[in-house]
Chains A and B, each alone.
Chain A
Amino acid sequence: MHHSQLLHTPADSANNQPEPDAPPKQVAQAMERLNQASRAIADIRLGADRIFEAMFLTSHPRNSTDMSLQLLLKKDASMRQHLQDLSSIGKKLEESGVLTESLRLRSNTWDLHMPLVCPDGAVVAYAWKRQLAGQAGASAVDRTRLALKAFTDQKKRFFPHIDDGVKMEPRLKKHRASHSLLEHGGGEMFDYKTLPDIQSRLEKLVTNVKVSTYGRLSWLKRADSLTGSGSDDDPSEASKLVFQSSSKMRSGLDDEVSDKVAVIELYVPSVFRAVVSLNPAGSVDPDSVAFFSPDEGGSYLHARGFSAHHVYKHITEHASTALQYFLGFGTGSALYSLLLWVCSFESLFSKPCSKCGRLLAMDKKSALILPPLHRTYQDLPLDANLDVCEAYHCGCSPDDS
């Protein structure tokens, strides 16, 4: 996608380099062009005034009509020139990616699919640009070194499968697990350790929640495709594990091998969207979890991101405490417990607090009116109805966290 955009850029006579410019030069060029554009716009404004002047003169009979006609034609020609200049500047800006929608700004000419989000959640056009800005005093060598470090850190975190030689083992393990599932024919055995088991179990227990799995890159694409107002009821375009028949199972595994499951999405329509990340990809070890509004979309929607809304931000904080609690058992059932607990938030906007009996309350710490954001995570009923999970306001919670 990014390559084709470069190919379509026509050769600019002023810029004969075969390589595209480094982004700082691109920024400087874009600034220069914007200045030119504003000068052209000022010329157009003046030109319009001149044309009115000329028309005024032609309308007065005491001036020679021939001369004023000449004047009018001259003004018209210069106006056309200005408009043409403006349009060519506009084209150049479009080509260099300044005048397009923000999505196209992501086409990173260094051929790396950099996410727009830094690990600490800040959104920037180029991840390393922020790095450079922070190190303005450092020398060029230091800057380069820091940028390279930022690259490799992000690459390790987001693209661990690149030059990662240990692909064979997890693949075989999964294969074996799925075969054992087939042999048992979906019987009583419930193994917390396989993702397909967990997913199907959840779907049986909590029918309103949609559980979907994604590889890291496909989640990034999906997060971006979720626009602000979307009521997204069909996540089936993503890589979803399907267990209906053995042949489908095999093709599902083939997808998995190339794009290991790293993200689980729990979606309750009109209530929330939760994102859980698995680390390492393909395992059943949850790494972090975050909650978002069902209407939110964008690249900041990931397990370490924060929602724009207070209610989901607070739940995310509470959820990380719960996650640590589940991981603390060390039994490997953390993922199942976590996902089940997340599903209890289905009643976020309907279940009143078990202590004060109200749905909304003014939270003293943050001075905000919020629904009960706490759900008890100790003694979670793994097989039974989630309604027994009690809801509390932050201030009413017996945990007093």
Chain B
Amino acid sequence: MPVKWVLYWQPNQGTTVSTQILNEATQCVESINGVKEGRWKATLNYYKPMLRDQSNHPDLPRDFLGISLADQPSKYYFVIRSQRIVVEADASIQLIMEKLQSYKSKVSLYFDGFQYQLGDFRVRVGRVVPVHSESVRGIVMEVEYLPISSMEKSRKVMEEFVEIWHEALSKRSLSGKFVNIELNFGEFGLADTYTPQHTGVQYAIVMAHMIATVQPARG
């Protein structure tokens, strides 16, 4: 599977994130010869256990999230960041969880944006929107380098691409920047060859950072 980096928009101190940033970002992709391929959608859910007696199970993890990825439509990925666990399941697991009533989704988020092809790179930019709401919670960007699947070998290529991206964006004088988080995939038991589980882990970390540092926009 091609290597992918997941970046998120970090607004400057005191500013908020909005759909305008997404528009600027998509225009910027087109300015570096990106070809729009279509819409991009994904969903992410935070789960909490449904227990009769809440107090007796203090050791159940509270950052249990599940994510569906656009390029793996028949699968669903679970990540428990605090315990460094990532698991791949069939997409029907969501239905099973609903029937069992074991876990309930307490927060649901949509990723909604566009997908672009730039030669051997594939870029997806989208806004993060809570379900049943119009407010933008953040902006997320995926960068894929299609020819290779080794994290190590692709590192320099990805770094330089992000530099090119930053350069192109800086011309638009936006108040913030896209940030890539350095991750130790080994902690999650993942190897050098890229897999969808790597994507799941990246999203878990990105969401944690986003919730901690980005103020939700109003309206």
Contacts and interface: CB of A to CB of B under 8 A. Distances in A.
Interface string B159-182: 011001000000000000000000
B156 interface: yes
Interface string B182-193: 000000000011
Given A271-B148, A293-B148, A359-B160, A366 B119 contact: yes
Given A359-B157, A360-B164, A369-B32, A270 B152 contact: yes
A349 B157 contact: yes
Interface stretch (A38-46, A179-187, A305-313, A327-335): A305-313
A362 B163 CA distance: 13
Nearest to B165: A369
Most buried by B among A231, A360, A369: A369
Given A358-B160, A368-B33, A349 B154 contact: yes
B146 A309 contact: yes
Contact of B33 (A270, A295, A359, A362): A362
A309 B120 contact: yes
Given A231-B193, A358-B160, A368-B118, A311 B147 contact: yes
Interface residues of A, number: 25
Contact of A369 (B118, B146, B150, B154): B118
B93 interface: no
Contacts of B103: none
A293 B118 CA distance: 17
A4 interface: no
Nearest to B146: A309
Interface size class of B (residues with CB under 8 A): 20 to 34
B32 A310 contact: no
B169 to A, nearest CB: 15
Given A270-B148, A271-B148, A360-B161, A311 B153 contact: no
Given A349-B157, A359-B156, A367-B33, A311 B164 contact: no
Interface string A365-400: 011111100000000000000000000000000000
B94 interface: no
A309 B153 contact: no
